Amino acid sequence: MEITFIGAAREVTGSCHLLHVNGYTILLDCGMFQGKRSESAEKNKALPVPIPDIDAVVLSHAHIDHSGRLPFLIANGYSKTIWATAATRDLCAVMLADSAHIQEKDAEFLVRRKKEFVEPLYGMRHAVRTMELMVGLPYNKPFDVVPGVRGTYVDAGHILGSASVILDCTEGDITKRLVFSGDIGRSGLAIIRDPVSPPDADAVIMESTYGNRDHESVDGARAHLADVIRKTAARGGRILIPAFAVGRTQEMLYSLHSLLREGAIPSLPVYVDSPLAIDTTTVFQMHPETFDQSEDMVKRVKELFEFPLLKFTRDVEESKAINAARGPMIVIAASGMMEAGRILHHLANGASDPRNTILIVGFQAEHTLGRRIVERQPMLKIFGDEVPLRAQVEVINGYSAHADRTELNTWIDKVKAASPRLGPIWLVHGEPEVQDEYMASLTARGYSVTCPEPHSRVSF
């Protein structure tokens, strides 16, 4: 039994690992590489392995850095099963269609600029075909991935539908259990349940995004959010929140809703300016079975994503009208790392106004506009124009959907406590410096840990 690490190896994006068991090859995730444009474009164009060699795909969750290259497999002839949870499947239906649209638009743009034909990575028909191949499953129900490999999804508590995958692998009379963590969430995140630690394992592929630091608490984050809103509103400014359309947007809405109910923030116009966020909010409403019923508002409020002065703006004219509106307001728009999407218009308009606040509530990868804003660089480049950064920049890490160091430790400690024979742990999905630090701390605590390089192969 072997694993080849392709993506999210010594980096955060492009999650993709190959599992070789019993003569079969299974892809764990097939995500998009993000970050530096030219570099990631090259990586995104490389197939992880020849298509005929792939026997099945097991998807951990719908985030594009995990699912975004599935239609690219289809564009290259893949026609076998893609396993996912039911909510992941529904999220992928809207997210992959959106991604296909972006691929097509990007290619058109390059054609105009370079005056030569550029093939999009994939198109809408490939996203549609992906959905025909994707099977949505409940949590905790074993399924046969390929002969000799039985999978079970457990709730990873990261975003709607997110899962860690238990893979029971049999070759001859030997069975070993591999656990793929997917992205591990946090306890106490709004709406969705807390992460479930998988049972005993022989080997683990584990994410390590925040392996070197702790987040502020979820409660601390709410208080911080209320404070930022009150102060910015008092200055007459706007609160611009770049947010991933899936997960973070709904979490922000839930927080705003609950703060309003408590009277902790003034009632301001709130715009969700993202067609994708509107669609993914609908998918949330379709999956109440995944909600955390121990949360007060989940139990008591029927419409979690509706409150006074909340407006979902789908069409472009409505979106433009927001810039003309006056007075304090909250604008939530994608993309989360400010690399694309309507947030760019709001930043082009609002970043130079010192009354405004750019409120960062998500991870900002290297080489993104979001990272430059977190670093408070004085001049930003938006749509090719120089825009001075004079708005306040606030960072709330408590809204991270990723486990922090303490929560990662809790997760792996529980696996270890249940595992008499826990063998290797491979850290993935983290920046190299963070991974090295986390590897050292786990090693010091008696774990056998490595950080595989891209295209390296290990056996277990």
Site residues (CB under 5 A) for Zn ion? 63, 65, 183
Considering the complex, state which of residue 17 and residue 63 has its C-beta at the smaller distance from Zn ion.
63
Q: What angle do CA 214, 217, 221 make, to 5 degrees?
A: 115
Considering the complex, state which of residue 120 and residue 247 has its C-beta at the smaller distance from Zn ion.
247
| In the complex, minimum distance from the CB of residue 278 to Zn ion, in angstroms, rounded to a whole number | 20
Q: Six-digit token pair at 314?
A: 């789908």
| In the complex, minimum distance from the CB of residue 189 to Zn ion, in angstroms, rounded to a whole number | 12
Q: How many residues does the chain have?
A: 460
| In the complex, minimum distance from the CB of residue 245 to Zn ion, in angstroms, rounded to a whole number | 13
Considering the complex, state which of residue 54 and residue 184 has its C-beta at the smaller distance from Zn ion.
184
| In the complex, minimum distance from the CB of residue 425 to Zn ion, in angstroms, rounded to a whole number | 18
Considering the complex, state which of residue 65 and residue 295 has its C-beta at the smaller distance from Zn ion.
65
Considering the complex, state which of residue 65 and residue 251 has its C-beta at the smaller distance from Zn ion.
65
Considering the complex, state which of residue 12 and residue 268 has its C-beta at the smaller distance from Zn ion.
12
Cβ neighbors of 370 (< 8 A, separation 6 or more) are 242, 336, 337, 338, 339, 360, 362, 364
| In the complex, minimum distance from the CB of residue 353 to Zn ion, in angstroms, rounded to a whole number | 32
Write phi, then psi, for 279 (nearest 5 degrees). Answer: -65, -40
**What sign has the CA pseudo-torsion 101, 103, 106, 112?**
negative
| In the complex, minimum distance from the CB of residue 116 to Zn ion, in angstroms, rounded to a whole number | 33
Considering the complex, state which of residue 7 and residue 424 has its C-beta at the smaller distance from Zn ion.
7
Cβ neighbors of 4 (< 8 A, separation 6 or more) are 17, 18, 20, 49, 455, 456, 457
Considering the complex, state which of residue 16 and residue 322 has its C-beta at the smaller distance from Zn ion.
16
- Please say whether the beta carbons of 121 and 46 come within 8 A: no
- Please say whether the beta carbons of 34 and 13 come within 8 A: yes
Considering the complex, state which of residue 249 and residue 349 has its C-beta at the smaller distance from Zn ion.
249
Considering the complex, state which of residue 85 and residue 392 has its C-beta at the smaller distance from Zn ion.
85
Match 């509106």 to its residue by tokens.
Answer: 325
**Could you tell me the CA-to-CA distances from 394 to 35, 374, 389, 391 in Å, in that order?**
22, 8, 13, 10
Question: What is the C-alpha radius of gyration for the chain, rounded to an integer number of angstroms?
Answer: 22
Closest CA to 397 of 258, 231, 221: 221
List 27's β-bridge partners, or say none. Answer: 18, 57
| In the complex, minimum distance from the CB of residue 281 to Zn ion, in angstroms, rounded to a whole number | 18
| In the complex, minimum distance from the CB of residue 143 to Zn ion, in angstroms, rounded to a whole number | 22
| In the complex, minimum distance from the CB of residue 238 to Zn ion, in angstroms, rounded to a whole number | 28
Q: Are strands 270-272 and 329-333 parallel, antiparallel or unpaired?
A: parallel
Considering the complex, state which of residue 29 and residue 279 has its C-beta at the smaller distance from Zn ion.
29
| In the complex, minimum distance from the CB of residue 61 to Zn ion, in angstroms, rounded to a whole number | 6
| In the complex, minimum distance from the CB of residue 29 to Zn ion, in angstroms, rounded to a whole number | 9
